[in-house]
Structure formats: C-alpha cells, structure tokens
Amino acid sequence: MVSSPLSSAFNRQEIEQLRRSLLNWYDRQGRDLPWRREPTPYRVWISEIMLQQTQVKTVLPYFDRWLQQYPDVKSLANADIQQVLKTWQGLGYYARARNLHRAATLIVERHNSEFPNRYDEVIDLPGIGRSTAGGILSGAFNQPVAILDGNVKRVLARLTALPVPPSKAVKSLWALSESLLDRQRPRDFNQAFMDLGATLCTPKNPACLLCPWRESCQGYNLDLQSELPMRETRNPIPHKHIGVAVIVGEDGKILIDRRPPKGLLGGMWEFPGGKIEPNESVTDCIRREIKEELDIEIEVGEHLITVEHAYTHLKVSLNVYRCRHRSGEPKPLECDEIRWVMLDELEDYPFPKANVKIIEALRQAA
C-alpha cells in the first residue's frame, strides 16, 4: 500500500491551479456529448452505465437507440427484459442491462418514477457503485461528489507518479480525487477529468504536450508517463474450447435456449453446447452436452464455423456444427427456456456477440 496519503501531494495553491487549468482546458476542448447537452438524471444515469468499461464512440449509437425506445424511467421499467437485452445486444457486460431494468422498477416503486438525488439512495440501486454514483450526482445534479473511474485512476497515477498499481492505492486515490474536485463546478470538473483521461492521458502514447496538467505531472517530469500506471502481475487468461450445436428439426426450425438470468450473459439466448473435456472430440462433446442439457439424441453433421471471442477474463473458441434432431422431447434441464424458431426469426432474440456470428454464417449458408 502507499505509505503516505496522496491527498497531501499538492498544497492549496497547487490544487487551485490544477482546478483552474483543467476547467479552462475543458471549456475549450471538452467533448460535445448528448448527455451533456441535456443532462437530465435519466439520461446521465443511462450514459454512466453504458460507459462502464466501454468507449464513448461505441456508446453513442446505443445511447440514441435506447432513448428512442425507452425515453424515461417508466418506459424502461414497463419494458420486457428480453426486449431490453435485445436493445443492449452488442454492448457486452449484459448484467448492466439487467441492472438498469431492475433499477428502473425500483425507482418507479420507491421514488415515484423520479431518479433520486441522495447518495445513499443512488448507490442502493442495482449496478451503481461509488464512482458511478459520483458521476450521476455531479453530472445530473451538479453535486460535489468525486469519481474514480479507469480514466481518473490513470490520470492520478501519472500525476503523482504512483509507485504501485492503482488497485493497491484505492483509498489514497479516492482522497486525492475528492481534494481536487472543484466545489463550484463539480459537474464540469468531473466531466473534464474523464475527458482528460479519454482524449489526452490515454493508456498508450499520451499526448502530454497538450495536457493542461503537464507542468504539475510528476510522471511527465520524471519521464515515466509511458510506464504508468504500474500494472498488476496477472495470470494467463484461461481459454475454453466449446462444442456448439445448431440443431435443426424436421420442419426446418432451429433449437435455441435461454440462459438463467444471473451470471455471465444471463437471460441471453444461445445455441446449446458446452465445454470440450480433455481427450474428447468436438462431436462427442456436442452429443454428450445436448443429452445432458436437453435430454435428446442428435446427429452431428458438418462443421459450420469456429468463432473466437474474448471476454475480459476469458477466451473462448466456439466450434459450431450443424446437427439433426433424432429423438426425444427437449427439456430445459440447464437453461430457463427452449424454443424452436425459423432462421429469419433469430434476429428477434437477444444473442451474445459471438452467437451473432453463428447466425450470420447460417444466413450465408442458407
């Protein structure tokens, strides 16, 4: 852990200068974003959740579509969760969409459909942690509540030449973020903080010569900016090989199933299958998994596609085969629901990104 508190790294005069220079830069260079032009609590909340672990350029089209489909808390709370997941499809981290839906329901029930403006009530909502609560309360209500997202951690690590990975100094980084926060313009300051990390103080090749904090930045002055923040020592990311079955019935319909609502990809639809065991062939895996999951017999046919996909903590290879349903009535033994659908109906269901590539391969082969 960091031995001395980072909040004392700068005196009052230096903090005032840091605030002033950042806000002056933001007034000239701040990004023009839809939730900033119209910072209602609902719009700011949606943007903050979408921006978790996702870049602005990716979020923008999703944000526009979301607001068209769910313009307020009530419309989101009243929406079917399957439609919500479909709208979210492609953004990843699907727990965020499920939490938005659950939180909207709670806001309608507890807060008369008005997004709360008290910290304890905001952080009590599903999917909202300390930094997201700060982003919402400062962005929507201009309240002086600090943030500490990934961009801010990187900026502060370079600003102070942090000698440990940010995860080892979270308490000190929070204290520093709170001490730097401009109480007169908290909304603009926090937005400027995030913009600085997203546009100049980037993970690679930071644009230090354009940075308003360059003169005060210990990382820059020590020529360490490219080596900071310090990285954690990580174990290799596991790589799973999965056998996947596109099961076609005699009527030409395809079997899909819906995952349980919790966990990775919860509530999403997929083509059934499972992990290939050691010394097991892909075709044997598929036959075994389909028997275990659905209690039916299938004939494994030709290889359709292999899809490589990476999550933050896991890599998967989906080995996809066409299969024929031979006998048995499918049962949802390890899923929440089963449906037989035509190829052109698949687009109506929310699928994970990797499964979308399977659907594209099916269409091309049709």
> Does residue 48 carry a catalytic annotation?
yes
Strand (E) or helix (H) holding 50: helix 41-50
User: Which residue type sits at 81?
Assistant: I
**Distances from the Cα of 100 to the Cαs of 24, 49, 50, 77, in angstroms?**
34, 8, 10, 9
**Distances from the Cα of 39 to the Cαs of 33, 219, 241, 269, 284, in angstroms?**
10, 34, 44, 34, 55
Report strand pairing: 337-341 vs 273-275: unpaired
> Under the phi-then-psi rule, with left for phi > 0, alpha for psi from -120 to 50, and beta for the rest, what region is 267?
left
Q: Please state, in angstroms and rounded to a whole number, the distance separating the CA atoms of residues 179 and 11.
A: 10
* Beta-carbon contacts of residue 113 (< 8 Å; ≥ 6 apart): 72, 73, 74, 77, 107
Strands (E) located in the chain: 239-248, 254-258, 269-270, 273-275, 297-310, 315-327, 337-341
Given a contact cutoff of 8 angstroms between Cβ atoms, the answer to whether 298 and 245 are in contact is yes
Identify the bridge partners of residue 31 per DSSP, sorted by sequence position: none
Q: Please state, in angstroms and rounded to a whole number, the distance separating the CA atoms of residues 236 and 67.
A: 39
Tokens (6 digits) for 5? 């508190």
Given 48, 270, 289, 293, the catalytic residue = 48
Report strand pairing: 315-327 vs 239-248: parallel
Q: Please state, in angstroms and rounded to a whole number, the distance separating the CA atoms of residues 33 and 77.
A: 25
Tokens (6 digits) for 91? 């953004």
* Beta-carbon contacts of residue 71 (< 8 Å; ≥ 6 apart): none
- Residues serving a catalytic function are 48
